[in-house]
Structure 1
Amino acid sequence: MTQLTVEDFKTMLSVALKNIKEREDEFSRLDAVIGDGDHGQAIVTAMTAIVNTAQKGTEFKAMLNDIVFTVMLEVSGSTSTLLGALFLGMSDCASGTELDAAGVKTMFAGGLANVRRQTKAQKGDKTMMDALIPAVDAIQSCPSDDIREIMNAGAEAAIAGAESTLEMKANFGRARNYGERSIGHIDSGAASWSCMFASFAEALN
């Protein structure tokens, strides 16, 4: 697969919504350990708005910008802020109706760069960044020109990153107040964002 079309990207988002919906209760249970317990509902709400908006898109930059506007306007909370930041950064680095492998890598790199502007969280802080950073790093370093292989690499890294949060102590948000008690549970944001990247890969295979 040497080109990613706008329609391919819509499918990626739709599969992500389906899989995140199926795990909504799991993500909320994880969040309840060291948070508000509403992360599953929050990310389903945000992804639903994203998918509905994307359906009208015909070109990458405009579609991604519309997604950002909708998710930031219609959905409150940190989940929509961070997803909005991801898609805004992607929109800055994507245009046209098709992306080649280099274009896909550039788009996701732009997304991560903009999320970094919204949060000081780093890999190892037990947040969604533990899935996002490894995923984008793996996408960047994948030597293949096959977009399926590139997204598979990102998915595997995101899943491994989320699993690594099991042994981490939380350093951000309400979760940091739990100190050592936050160890032994996967971070809900890392889990849901890894599901998103795994879904992106699934949609292309």
Structure 2
Amino acid sequence: MEKMTIEQFRKMLETALAHIKAREDEFSKLDAVIGDGDHGQAIVAAMAAIVASSRKGTEFKSMLNGMGFDVMLQVSGSTSTLLGAFFLGMSDAVEGTALSAAEVKVMFAAGLANVCKQTKARKGDKTMMDALVPAVEAMESCASSDVAEVFKTGAEAAVKGAEATVGMQANFGRARNYGERSVGYMDSGAASWSCMFASFAEAFDN
């Protein structure tokens, strides 16, 4: 597929919400190990706000901008702040109603760059960045001009990144206080963001 239309992107978001909602309890249980235990609820609420906002969009820039602001205004907490930053960053890098593989890569790279401005967490700290950073880097390095292949490559990297957090010790936020006790569990944020990228690939390919 040479282009990603706004309708396809909306379908990707809706698929992500469905899969994240189905795994809500799993994400909260992972979060309970070294956090508040509410990540499942938080990511579902944030994605629901994003999907609702996306339905008002007619072109990428304004739609992504609206999604970013809406999720931060409607849902409190770090989860919505980082998702909001991701989509607001994307909005700065796109135009129109259909995007090529190259434009999709630029859009996601801009989203990651804006998230990096909002958090000091980096890859290896056992956070959602361990799924997001590998996903976007893999998408950027994918040589294919097929948008579906770009998303598949990003999804595979996100899932591997999330799985790698099982062996990591938390180095960021309150979770770092658990030290070695944080080892042996997948990070809830990495798990949910990898689910989002896997959903994007699945929805685009169908």
TM-score for the superposition, normalised by structure 2? 0.99
Amino acid at match of 1:53: S
How far apart, in 2, do the equivalents of 1:53 and 1:116 lie?
23
Report the equivalent of 1:202.
202
Report the equivalent of 2:65.
65
What is the CA distance between 1:14 and its match in structure 2?
0.2
Report the equivalent of 2:15.
15
What is the CA distance between 1:95 and its match in structure 2?
1.1
Q: Residue 186 of structure 1 aligns to a residue in which SS?
A: coil
What is the CA distance between 1:56 and its match in structure 2?
1.1
Structure 1 stretches lacking a partner, 5+ long: none
Report the equivalent of 1:166.
166
Amino acid at match of 2:146: D
The yes-or-no answer on 1:185 pairing with 2:185 is: yes
What is the CA distance between 1:174 and its match in structure 2?
1.4
TM-score for the superposition, normalised by structure 1? 0.99
Structure 2 stretches lacking a partner, 5+ long: none
Report the equivalent of 2:153.
153
Amino acid at match of 2:75: V
Report the equivalent of 1:55.
55
What is the CA distance between 1:173 and its match in structure 2?
1.4
How far apart, in 1, do the equivalents of 2:28 and 2:6 lie?
31
How far apart, in 1, do the equivalents of 2:174 and 2:119 lie?
14
Q: Residue 127 of structure 1 aligns to a residue in which SS?
A: coil
Q: Residue 4 of structure 1 aligns to a residue in which SS?
A: strand
Report the equivalent of 2:26.
26
What is the CA distance between 1:120 and its match in structure 2?
1.1
How far apart, in 2, do the equivalents of 1:142 and 1:64 lie?
24
What is the CA distance between 1:39 and its match in structure 2?
0.1
How far apart, in 2, do the equivalents of 1:46 and 1:122 lie?
22
How far apart, in 1, do the equivalents of 2:149 and 2:184 lie?
32
What is the CA distance between 1:134 and its match in structure 2?
0.2
Give the superposed CA RMSD: 0.4
| Number of equivalent positions | 205
How far apart, in 2, do the equivalents of 1:76 and 1:173 lie?
17
How far apart, in 2, do the equivalents of 1:84 and 1:169 lie?
27
How far apart, in 1, do the equivalents of 2:204 and 2:54 lie?
17
Aligned-pair identity in percent equals 71
How far apart, in 2, do the equivalents of 1:204 and 1:9 lie?
8
Matches within 5 A, 1:36-47: 36-47=36-47
> Following superposition, which runs of at least 4 residues in structure 1 exceed 6 angstroms of deviation?
none
